[in-house]
Amino acid sequence: MTTFQAEPFTSAWVDELVALSSDRESIAGLSGIVGLGVGAKLAAADAEAVVAIVDGRAVGASTELPEITIPFAKNQVSEWLAGEVVLSEAYMKGDLKPVGASGPLFAALELFDWVVSQAD
């Protein structure tokens, strides 16, 4: 399981996400601008981190308004990063309530679940 050194959703965390996914095989079409943060009513403009995903890889922070925002409950962040929660399953159960376009959501869920499942 991947262990992040930086605090979630900081610029250093985004840099780690980019590095972890840089050698990943490309997945055409899994792309979008994704906003992440903690809080049930997370607005796109209030996202703690905005990540650009291109063909299944995180390519860096973005200054664009997110196409999707994924609001986490405080405990979900640590549980996800510890491998205890699979985000795609949490979404299907209704425990994760993103707002925005579905294409970028599926790109984010696939990438974020993949990166946490990787061995260090």
Cα 74 to its chain centre, rounded Å, is 15
CA distance 2 to 117: 6
Selection from 93, 89, 94 nearest residue 109 by Cα:
89
For residue 63, being part of any structural domain is answered with: yes
Look at residue 40 and tell me whether its pLDDT is greater than 90. no
For residue 6, being part of any structural domain is answered with: no
For residue 40, being part of any structural domain is answered with: yes
Q: If you average pLDDT over every residue of the chain, what do you get?
A: 95
For residue 1, being part of any structural domain is answered with: no
CATH number (domain holding residue 113): 3.30.1050.10
For residue 105, being part of any structural domain is answered with: yes
pLDDT value at position 7?
95
Look at residue 106 and tell me whether its pLDDT is greater than 90. yes
The number of folded domains in the chain is 1
Tens digit of pLDDT for each residue in 43-89?
999 999 999 999 999 999 999 999 999 999 989 999 999 999 999 99
For residue 62, being part of any structural domain is answered with: yes
Average pLDDT over residues 31-42: 95
pTM of the model as a whole? 0.94
Which structural domain range is residue 58 located in?
11-117
pLDDT value at position 91?
97
pLDDT value at position 16?
96
- List beta partners, residue 96: none
Tens digit of pLDDT for each residue in 111-120?
999 999 997 6
Cα 78 to its chain centre, rounded Å, is 13
